[in-house]
Chain A
Amino acid sequence: MKPAPFQYTAPETVEESLVLLHTFREEGKPLAGGQSLVPLLNMRLARPSVLIDLNRVRELSYIHDEDATVSIGAMTRQRAVELSSLVREKLPLLAEAVRYIGHPQIRNRGTVGGSLAHADPAAELPVVTLVLGAQLVVRGLEGTRVLRPEEFFVSFLQTALAPEELLVEVRFPVHRTYGTAFLEVARRHGDYALVGVAAMVQMDGERCTEARLGFTGVGPVPVRLPEAEEAATGRPLDDSTLGEIARIVAARLDPHSDIHASATYRKEVAGILAGRALRLAAERFKQREGA
């Protein structure tokens, strides 16, 4: 478990990083928190010629309050997000989801941008960007692109990032007027989810006026199900509605089977979790309204 030989670079600014990425293109690989890349290197499953270590690029580590959005730099540690009172106050869904990422030791190293750029569909952050409609800011030497999650996540471990581009920032819409919930079923605490659900609702009394549902671990990219969201809208989130949503979820999702869970398991449990997450989100909405 020793990596194949590679050249190591440690830029200190975004500009330097972009020059290196531009120079080495497919041969270069940015290193963020290293929680996925380093094991892959050690197992020789990833064999970049040049490692571009971003850990000294201080300008990429920040959480900025911009009123309607909170912008988070790509090299911001997940632990910093978890501990941020700003995030807790304005981005409750992110605050809840980030605690499901591994363990504190992992979150101390793992970064927001690293997790998104790695694009594991079972990870927590990609689905959060999806249901929130976050913006992913991508820079190259030639300029900046702002991508929607639907554009950014292409397939399993694949993104729309060109080899010479770097994800530099994520802009999360403030969503404190929503009731939100994030739930996962994982084999153990801290494992990648077998299934995860992010839910957001607006309620008018017992009636749901808006619902968003995103799923992890059920396809090559994080998934939203408009049909299930519509089934919730305009109705009370009672057993009958949630039962119907569970049926839609199970019917519409097309997850994979692996050694930990079958596709059938993932479909069924996604439906169950969707109901539980919607109910929890609705409760939280009401609690906030009451407060």
Chain B
Amino acid sequence: MNERPGESRESMVTRYFGEPIKRNEDPRLLTGRGTFVDDIRPPGLLHAAFLRSPFAHARILSIRTEKARALPGVVAVYTHADLPPALQEPLPKLIPHPALIHHKTQYALAPDKVRHVGEPIAVVIAENRYVAEDALELIEVEYDPLPPVVDLEQAIQPDAPLVHEDAGTNVCAHYTQRVGNVEEAFAKAAYVFTERFVIDRGTAAPMECRGVVAQWEPKMRQLTVWDSTQAPIPIRNGLARLFGLPQSSVRVIAPDIGGGFGPKIMMFYPEEVVVPFAAMQLERPVKWIEDRLENFVAMNQEREQIHEASIAVDKEGRILGVKTVFLYDAGAYIPYGLIVPIVASTTLPGPYKIPNYHCEFRAVFTNKTIVSPYRGAGRPHGVFVMERLMDRVARELNLDRAEVRRRNFIQPDEFPYDVGLIYQDNAPLIYDSGNYPACLEKALEMIGYDRWPSERERYRREGRYVGLGLACYVEGSGIGPYEGCRVTVEPSGKVYAATSVGTQGQGHFTSFAQIIADILSVPVEDVTITTGDSGAFSWGTGTFASRAAVVAGNAVALAAQAVREKALRVAATLLEARVEDLELRDGRVFVRGVPGRSLSLGEIAVAANPLRGTIPEEWEQPGLEATRYFAPPRGTFSNGVHAAILEVDIHTGMINILKYVVVHDCGRIINPMILDGQIRGGVAQGIGNAFYEKLVYDENGQLLTRTFMDYLLPTAMEVPEVEIAHVETPSPLNPLGVKGAGEAGTIPVPAVFASAIDDALAEFSVRITEMPLSPNRLLEIIRTARERSKEAKSPR
């Protein structure tokens, strides 16, 4: 199991694994030759537009569509009543959990009640999108508006309006995990500090919104769906079941995708079933492309949680216990189950030894857009809470912030380390490997921690408020169940590999090719990767939870390894030599010591698939091809430290990031350039979460930030240069020794910002306990803190 395909045989040279080679896919994407869902234009294409609820909470009394149907150019209008029984039911429950008592899921089209602004009620199919949108205005819906429940804490009050009346409560799950005995630990602790933390909503804002094109060929009984999903194979399986078709009659293709970040794995978004339904009904291809106004209310969101958290420490700042009790806003439905709050609970302990831990949450329905994982998926919350508590301990005990962390780290010789919890994959939360002290020391060195006290003084003398922030985190990644890959060497000698995952910009076309190129000893340009097509590979789950490199990457390696072995076996027969005497080099199999006797992989591929003759038993099957799956026993755990120096203008609340460093350990690195890109993008998203991006709902559940004028994404002007360093602690859980890296950039940024702002404003005793901030909010916090310290100082 621990044999590494990239380096296991002496004859194999690692040429690509670990190298910062340029991405195979970039010339195509940068010259506008990508194929995104909106680029799919079958002849006879119709266009869909959805009528969405303008109310956060309302009963639907009637829907009249006659006028819309009568508009020239309109082909069909469908409401819930027009759908077949299978599509009238709530859409599938994705991830059940015993604690999830009320597992309510969304509808394809709302039957009699709408529960959030943007919930689809009807769809117009027309000759073009313009007419379709004109027709939406002609649909007459009679609503009986109900009082909405918008605020998370109000939603749990006994008199709160109910999002789902039959549940009798807005609390759909109440779940607790415990390690040790936190009450005892708190009772005997030297200090206990308690804090309330509020994290608000954001949206992933992928550059490409969602989109679906569906084509039904009635003669072939073949449904083809192009879908901007992160999980094409599960979508194929689900569509086949809903439409009563064999899986072989449904093909789902996730072509080039302009960013996923989590919300593009849902199964099902209403549009993903309604558009194929319309295409089958009308026997014409139908396209729906989500526009940004829709995306802001119809694509899943994340991040809203309120924690009451406490930490108990001894006199030296060693952690005796941690407790968090929190509310998790699920939005109007909870198709994705409890993944986000479980990830938040289980990420919180981070790199520290916490002998006693209590985490307890309630998942709560509100009349807002559905919540499902978005890059970080609960991890930023856990890290924010824990790192804020660590900073608090340092401040209260007058200890150095780095020293408090050092005293509590799990040490490099303590792995595997059992945290004592159950993780999101229902497996025990066991850290596989890591070197937390090394990452911290490296980050401290990069940020200039030793000279910071004097730097800080110097800034203060200049009248500037500058702070240093730092945060450590552990990122669970690479969870099962499995992924697969088929590697084929064609007679041309070129290598083709089909994987089970979709790709949304992660560079799989390159990183997977690097793995294969080394194992088969071919140029990386000769390896072509297919992702995201259920017609090319039939079994798999999807790209989420920082798992593609780990789970699919190792399947890729195993399949390539099997092809390599097959090539040697076939060559042994053809060259009349023993396998042990053969070596694979530069795409050719040689007999050792006989330079003249060799065969290219292409020649072997031809011989392995003869037109006449026999296939020897030891070849097992024709062709130079193998399919392999990788199913990890449990997740692997990356980790890292971010540190930043940040200036606050105390008169305007504006901030300026002077320096940002990341030290990151995701085990063995396949392509450092791709990895650094992942981290930089993640940091940008984290900066958004910390200071710019906030979805603001009013008391009626109307989203006030529905455009990029009001929902502020950080731009190249706001995101600083990020200095990155790597520590490589291989994972023992997979042959490549890799760990996930998709979310590492995003996770600790809010915690780092809070830490730096606290430091910058230490003389006002500011303690940041909420995210995201804004200049306006920061000035309020400063004002309050100054008044408080004035009161404290004034003699009474």
Contacts and interface: CB of A to CB of B under 8 A. Distances in A.
Interface of A: 1-5, 39, 43-44, 185, 187-192, 194, 259-262, 265, 268-269, 272-273
Given A2-B129, A259-B696, 10 more contacts: A44-B133, A185-B654, A185-B775, A187-B774, A188-B718, A189-B718, A191-B709, A191-B712, A259-B705, A259-B710
Contact of B712 (A1, A3, A188, A265): A188
B775 A265 contact: yes
Contacts, number: 64
Given A261-B776, A265-B776, A187 B651 contact: no
* Chain A interface main SS type: loop
A194 B712 contact: no
B258 interface: no
Contact of A261 (B692, B705, B775): B775
B452 interface: no
B67 to A, nearest CB: 15
B696 A190 contact: no
A271 to B, nearest CB: 9
Interface centre among A43, A194, A265 (most CB of B within 10 A): A265
A260 B654 contact: no
Nearest to A1: B291
A182 B715 CA distance: 23
Contacts of A261: 774-776
A1 B130 CA distance: 9
Contacts of A2: 129-130, 133
Contacts of A1: 291-293
A188 B775 contact: no
11 contacts: A2-B130, A4-B137, A5-B134, A185-B654, A188-B717, A189-B718, A194-B776, A265-B775, A269-B651, A272-B651, A272-B652
A33 B783 CA distance: 42
A189 B696 CA distance: 21
* Smallest CB-CB A-B distances: 8 pairs: A189-B717, A1-B291, A261-B776, A272-B651, A2-B130, A265-B776, A2-B133, A259-B696
B399 interface: no
B707 interface: yes
A2 B696 CA distance: 25
B704 interface: yes
Contacts of B709: 191-192
A81 to B, nearest CB: 21
A262 B137 CA distance: 35
Contact of B776 (A5, A43, A44, A260): A260
Contact of A43 (B293, B653, B780): B293
Interface centre among B129, B137, B717, B776 (most CB of A within 10 A): B776
A261 B775 CA distance: 8
A268 B704 contact: no
Interface in B571-594: none
A188 B652 contact: no
Interface string B771-796: 00011100110000000000000000
B704 to A, nearest CB: 5
Given A187-B712, A265-B779, A260 B774 contact: yes
A192 B133 CA distance: 30
Contacts of A260: 710, 774, 776
B714 interface: yes
Interface of B: 129-130, 133-134, 137, 291-293, 651-654, 692, 696, 704-705, 707, 709-710, 712, 714-715, 717-718, 774-776, 779-780
Contacts of A191: 709, 712
A8 B779 CA distance: 48
Contacts of A5: 130, 134
Contact of A265 (B291, B293, B653, B714): B653
Nearest to B132: A2
B109 to A, nearest CB: 21
Given A2-B129, A43-B293, A185-B654, A262 B776 contact: yes
Contacts of B705: 259
A5 B129 CA distance: 12
A185 to B, nearest CB: 5
Contacts of B130: 2-3, 5
A117 B420 CA distance: 65
Given A2-B130, A194-B775, A188 B293 contact: no
Contact of B779 (A188, A190, A268, A273): A268
B578 to A, nearest CB: 66
Interface centre among A2, A43, A185, A262 (most CB of B within 10 A): A2
B299 to A, nearest CB: 15
Contacts of B707: 39, 43
B652 A185 contact: yes
A137 to B, nearest CB: 30
Given A2-B129, A2-B130, A265-B775, A187 B692 contact: yes
A43 to B, nearest CB: 7
B391 to A, nearest CB: 26
Contacts of A3: 130
B494 to A, nearest CB: 41
A192 B775 CA distance: 14
A79 to B, nearest CB: 18
Contacts of A273: 652
Given A188-B712, A194-B775, A268-B779, A4 B134 contact: yes
Contact of B715 (A189, A194, A265, A272): A189
Contacts of B651: 268-269, 272
B715 A188 contact: yes
A1 B297 CA distance: 14
B246 to A, nearest CB: 38
B692 A188 contact: yes
A269 B718 CA distance: 20
Given A1-B291, A2-B129, A188 B776 contact: no
A252 B709 CA distance: 28
Nearest to A259: B696
Contacts of A269: 651-653, 779
A188 B655 CA distance: 11
Contacts of B293: 1, 43
Contacts of B779: 265, 268-269
Nearest to A246: B651
B205 to A, nearest CB: 14
A259 B712 contact: no
Interface centre among A187, A189, A262, A273 (most CB of B within 10 A): A187
Nearest to B654: A185
Contacts of B129: 2
B54 to A, nearest CB: 13
A65 to B, nearest CB: 33
Contacts of A268: 651, 779
A189 B709 CA distance: 12
Contacts of B704: 259
Contact of A190 (B717, B775, B780): B717
Nearest to A192: B709
Contacts of A272: 651-652
Nearest to B705: A259
B657 to A, nearest CB: 13
A115 to B, nearest CB: 15
A261 B652 CA distance: 11
A260 B134 CA distance: 33
Nearest to A266: B776
A100 to B, nearest CB: 12
A43 B715 CA distance: 24
A11 B696 CA distance: 42
Interface centre among B293, B710, B775 (most CB of A within 10 A): B775
B780 to A, nearest CB: 8
A4 B130 CA distance: 8
A192 B780 CA distance: 21
Nearest to A257: B776
A39 B708 CA distance: 11
A60 to B, nearest CB: 27
A41 to B, nearest CB: 12
Nearest to B294: A1
